[in-house]
A = this chain, B = another copy of it.
């Protein structure tokens, strides 16, 4: 054993607990939404978090699961806009996106955030392939509303290219730009895309790595953390406002996904080291699980 931390008996007990999960999830698709916040800062901490996340994803793949990473990049887009002196307006929490803003957002998402995640994974081998929703018409988009410009909704997901890459043993990393049939690009909320991709792939799990502990019945009361919720109960929390703000699109995506056939959706605390492994391979959990 590594160090003397665990005796043989504890270790054996854990192995007996872990191995059946590995069997159960073999060749099962797990869609992981990795938030832009985790990458937004500067300095070593963010790099460490990304490296640790990349290691977990590679470990999942190495024991037979099929991870798909979906990411956003709001803070990084904001950074470049500021540097370019481009002012943007927000309505209902969504950035009004003109053609120039869209081009900048696309550059950041596809050309920076996506690249950073791909690179972090590929330190471990030729595994990750970066994708945008425009590739092979993966995500068909439509305008969310006229007022918001090139902010898009998901109109359809064609998961063919994802299935092909997964079949080849690769890890798709997806930036959430979509295109309409005429080729016009749109920036789409990454939580929504993650849910739609999980549905289209018939994923076993949809996992949101966030910077909170999970969903709370009372937003202000840490003790009200929900370990398990039905989609209906989660909808109620959203309706009541308990799961609002950034949690709302995640909650909506979880609820929709489990109703559409995804077995389980999870909102995990990405700040816990190796939260993905703990959630997938042990009886306990580290956040909120949503069931149909």
Contacts and interface: CB of A to CB of B under 8 A. Distances in A.
Interface string A28-65: 00000000000000000000000000010001001110
Interface residues of A, number: 77
Interface stretch (A18-26, A203-211, A226-234, A251-259): A18-26
A23 B129 contact: no
A272 interface: yes
Contact of A12 (B12, B19, B177, B278): B278
Stoichiometry (number of copies):
6
A49 to B, nearest CB: 14
Nearest to A185: B119
Interface stretch (A109-117, A214-222, A239-247): A109-117
Interface string A101-114: 00100111111101
B62 A8 contact: no
A126 B158 contact: yes
Interface stretch (A88-96, A189-197, A279-287): A279-287
Contact of A286 (B8, B62, B164): B8
Contacts of A170: 136, 161
B115 A185 contact: yes
Nearest to A158: B126
A130 interface: yes
Nearest to A184: B119
A182 B2 CA distance: 26
Interface string A61-86: 01110000000000000001001100
Given A8-B284, A12-B273, A83-B84, 19 more contacts: A1-B283, A11-B14, A11-B278, A11-B282, A16-B55, A16-B59, A16-B274, A22-B62, A26-B63, A106-B115, A110-B114, A119-B134, A120-B183, A122-B136, A122-B137, A126-B136, A129-B131, A129-B135, A129-B136
